[in-house]
Amino acid sequence: MKKLFGAYIHWPYCLSKCPYCDFASRAESPLDENTLFQAYRRDILFLRTKTSAKTLTSVFFGGGTPSLMSPSLCTRLLNELNAHFPFSSDIEITLEANPDAINLKKMKSFQKVGINRLSLGVQSMTESGLKQLGRRHSLKTALSQIENAQCVFKNINIDLIYARPHQTRSDWQQELETAYALNLPHYSCYQLSIEKGTPFASQKIKPTDDETARTLYLDTHDFMKTKNIRQYEVSNYAKSGFECRHNLTYWLGCDYLGIGPAAHGRLNNLAVQNARTTSQWIKQKPQIETLSETERQTEKLMMHLRLLNVGYPIQGLPEQGLRTAFQNKWIIQKGDKIFPTLEGILMLNSLILLLMPA
C-alpha cells in the first residue's frame, strides 16, 4: 500500500445539537465564510512549516455538519490545500452530510468541486429510532437523500447507531436488512455511547445491556459477512476496495493534518492540537507537542489493533501480555504479526493494556 497522508478539516456547526453527541459542534449561525477561510488558511500555512511538502492521499470534511458549508468555501479550501500539499491523482475527498442539510443540487455542486465520497449520518433505519435519537430528519428524508447520493457518488457511506435503549436482536436485524437493501459500498455501525455532559447522560439514558450490545455486535459482523461486506475495523464495514482511505490513514499510524477548531494532527513525532471552540481557534494557531518514541509507539499499537486484517509486528511486544492475550483468544499469530480476533476487538481496551510497552 502506498504511503498515506491525509487532511482533516473540521466544520463546527450543526442545525441542532443531538442529545447523544459530544463532538465539537454547536447549533449556532456560522461566522462569515471569509473569516473562517482566513483561519483555515492560517492552519494550512502553519502546518506547511512543520512538515515537508508531501502528497495528500485523502481529505475529510468532518463535523459538525460540513454539508452546511457553501461549495465555494469548499473549493477555496481545496485549492489552498492543493497549493501547499499537492493532491495525488486518485485522492479520496469525503464530505460528511446530514440528510436534512443536503440535497441533490448541493451534492452535484460538491461533486463538481472535487468531493468524491459522501458520508451520510442516517443513524437509524426506523422512524422510532430517529425519534429516540432526537434526529431532525425523518426516515423518508434519509432514504431520499441516499437515493440522490447514488445519482451523484459511487463511494457512499451511511452511519448507523445501534445498541439503543430497548433495541432487540430482531429490531437491529431488520435495520441491517433495510440498510443492506440500499446496496451501498460502506457502512459505519457505532454502538451508542453515553457521553458525559450530554442530555442523554443527564437523562440517565442507558444503551442496551452489555450482553445484548455484544450480541448485536457479533450479529452485525455475521450479517455483513454473509453479504460479502467485510468488517475491516471496530465499527466499519465495506465492499472490497471501498474501505475509507482517510480513516485508514489514522489507523495505520500515518501522518495527517488537522485543520479547523478541535482538529488534531500527527506529523512524525509532533502532535498538533487546535483549540476546541471556534472563537478560541480563530484567535489561536495550532499547538504543538513533541511525543516520545514510547508515546508514538503506544498510539500506533492502539490504532493498529482496531484493524482486523492488517496485523501488528509481534517483535518487541511484552511476553507476559502476549501470553495472556493468546490464552484469552484475543489475538492470533500469522507469520511475524499478531491480529486481533473478534473477541479481542470486543475487549480492545484490555487487550491494548496487555500489549502496551512497559
Ligand X SMILES: C[S@@+](CC[C@H](N)C(=O)[O-])C[C@H]1O[C@@H](n2cnc3c(N)ncnc32)[C@H](O)[C@@H]1O
Identify residues 87-106 at the interface with ligand SF4 (CB under 6 A). 98
Footprint of ligand SF4 on residues 120-139 (CB under 6 A)? 121
Q: Of these partners, ligand X, ligand SF4, none, which one is at the site of residue 161 (CB under 5 to 8 Å by kind)?
A: ligand X
Amino acid in the structure at residue 155: N
Q: What angle do CA 165, 167, 171 make, to 5 degrees?
A: 160
Q: Determine if the peptide bond prior to 64 is cis (ω within 30°).
A: yes
Grid cell 512543520 — which residue?
Answer: 50
Phi, psi of 22 (to 5 degrees): -115, 10
Task: Please tell me whether residue 143 binds ligand X under the rule CB under 6 A.
Answer: no
Q: Would you count residue 65 as binding ligand SF4 (CB under 6 A)?
A: yes
Q: Stretches 12-20, 107-115, 198-206, 347-355: which one binds ligand SF4 (CB under 6 A)?
A: 12-20
Q: Does 159 bind ligand X (CB under 6 A)?
A: yes
Task: CB nearer to ligand X: give 159 or 255.
Answer: 159
Least distance CB 165 / ligand SF4 (angstroms): 17
Q: Which of 19, 23, 182, 302 binds ligand X (CB under 6 A)?
A: 23
Q: Smaller CB distance to ligand X: residue 57 or 145? A: 145
Closest contact distance (angstroms) between CB of 83 and ligand SF4 is 29
Would you state the cell numbers that stand for residue 4, as one nine-digit string?
A: 498515506
CB 142 within 8 A of CB 99: yes
Q: Can you tell me which residue has the cell 442545525?
A: 15
Report if residue 14 touches ligand SF4, rule: CB under 6 A. yes
Which x/- pattern, by CB under 6 A, does the window 37-76 give for ligand X?
A: -------------------------xx-x-----------
Does residue 64 bind ligand SF4 (CB under 6 A)?
yes
Listed in sequence order, the residues at least 6 apart from 126 whose beta carbon sits closer than 8 Å to its beta carbon are: 139, 171, 174, 175
- Which residue in 4, 25, 122, 308 binds ligand SF4 (CB under 6 A)? 25
Distance, in Å, from the CA atom of 255 to the CA atom of 225, rounded to the nearest integer, reads 31
Secondary structure element (H or E) that encloses residue 12, with its range = none
Span interacting with ligand SF4, options 10-18, 165-173, 179-187, 288-296, rule CB under 6 A: 10-18
User: Residues 121, 258, 340, 344: which binds ligand X (CB under 6 A)?
Assistant: 121
Write out the binding residues for ligand X, residues 86-115 only, by CB under 6 A.
96, 98
Does 141 participate in binding ligand SF4 (rule CB under 6 A)? no
User: Residue 247: is it exposed, middle or buried by C-beta count within 10 angstroms (0-12/13-18/19+)?
Assistant: buried
Query: Which stretches within the chain are classed as H helix?
Result: 33-48, 71-84, 104-112, 127-132, 139-152, 169-181, 199-202, 210-226, 245-251, 278-283, 293-304, 319-327, 342-346, 348-355
3-state secondary structure of 215: helix
Residue 310, C-beta contacts closer than 8 angstroms, at least 6 positions apart: 251, 252, 304, 339
Residue 20, interface with ligand X (CB under 6 A)? yes
Confirm or reject binding of residue 249 to ligand SF4 (CB under 6 A): no
Q: Which stretch binds ligand X (CB under 6 A): 18-26, 35-43, 124-132, 294-302?
A: 18-26
Q: Rg for the chain (alpha carbons), in Å?
A: 20
18 binds ligand SF4 (CB under 6 A): yes
Q: Which residues bind ligand SF4 (CB under 6 A)?
A: 14, 17-18, 21, 23, 25, 63-65, 98, 121
